[in-house]
Amino acid sequence: MPKVVDHHERRTLIADALLRVAARDGLEAVSLRHVATEAGVTSGMVQHYFRTKDEMMQFALGVVRERNEARITAAVTRLGPAPAPRDFLHAVLAGLLPLDDASRADGLVALAFLAYAAVRPEAGTSLRRDAPQMVAYIADQIRTAQAAGAARAGVDPEAAATGLLAVTEGLGMYLLTAQTTPENAIRTLDAHLAFVFSGS
């Protein structure tokens, strides 16, 4: 194999340029040539690393997903070992919110991809977060807290878990469209957590 170049590195370089274009001018402005100029390369090179535009989009979508997951795990590890269910959920859900500029840009792109994939189901499979798995996990946390007396006994863990995820998603949309402030989003999330968890 002649000419040693890191294939994956080049692809992420191009995908990063794509995401910058998408965050700035919208997904509709993403074209081979625009991405190429944004990345500072020729359109021929882009075409060399992605045989088709859809292939490029799929890859970029994967990059967004990876970054999101990384953000969450970072928020969790920052929490230390064996955190209380409430603190844990707060960290995870707040980590999902587009609070800083970087995650905001990613959120905008994810939103655009969501609309893009709503009609192109084969492209949306990768985007569709494993929500059921997430719901089950959160519900488990709630059950644990209930057993320890830290959460209200009356609540349905599954419904509460879905509600928590939904409220996070909704707050994310409000943040992306500048319909609310980060402080208010956090406050609302905390209020919802207070509904589930009894003490203090």
Partner DNA sequence: CGCGTTACATTGCAGTTGTAACGTAAACGG
Partner DNA sequence: CCGTTTACGTTACAACTGCAATGTAACGCG
Q: Which does 10 bind (CB under 5 to 8 A by kind): its own copies, DNA, none?
A: DNA
Interacting residues toward its own copies by CB under 8 A = 24-28, 108, 111-112, 114-120, 124, 127-129, 131, 155-156, 159-160, 162-163, 165-171, 173-174, 176-177, 179-180, 184, 187-188, 190-192, 195-196
Is residue 120 part of the contact set for DNA (CB under 7 A)?
A: no
Could you say which residues in the range 21-60 bind DNA, by CB under 7 A?
29-34, 41-45, 47-48, 51-54
Is residue 20 part of the contact set for DNA (CB under 7 A)?
A: no
What gap in Å lies between CA 107 and CA 95, rounded to an integer?
A: 12
Cβ at position 49, least distance to DNA in Å: 7
User: Two tokens at 175?
Assistant: 């943040």
Cβ at position 125, least distance to DNA in Å: 19
User: Two tokens at 150?
Assistant: 């830290």
Burial of 82 (0-12, 13-18, 19+ CB in 10 A): exposed
| 42/73 with CB nearer DNA | 42
| 47/188 with CB nearer DNA | 47
Tell me if residue 151 falls in helix, strand or coil. Answer: strand
Q: Which does 191 bind (CB under 5 to 8 A by kind): its own copies, DNA, none?
A: its own copies
Q: Which stretch binds DNA (CB under 7 A): 1-9, 148-156, 162-170, 179-187?
A: 1-9
What gap in Å lies between CA 98 and CA 144, rounded to an integer?
A: 28
What gap in Å lies between CA 111 and CA 127, rounded to an integer?
A: 10
The DSSP-derived string for 78-102 is TT-SS--HHHHHHHHHHHHS--SHH
Half-sphere exposure of 183 (CA within 13 A, CB side): 0
| 18/91 with CB nearer DNA | 18
Is residue 13 part of the contact set for DNA (CB under 7 A)?
A: no
Judge whether 86 and 193 are in contact, CB under 8 Å.
Answer: yes
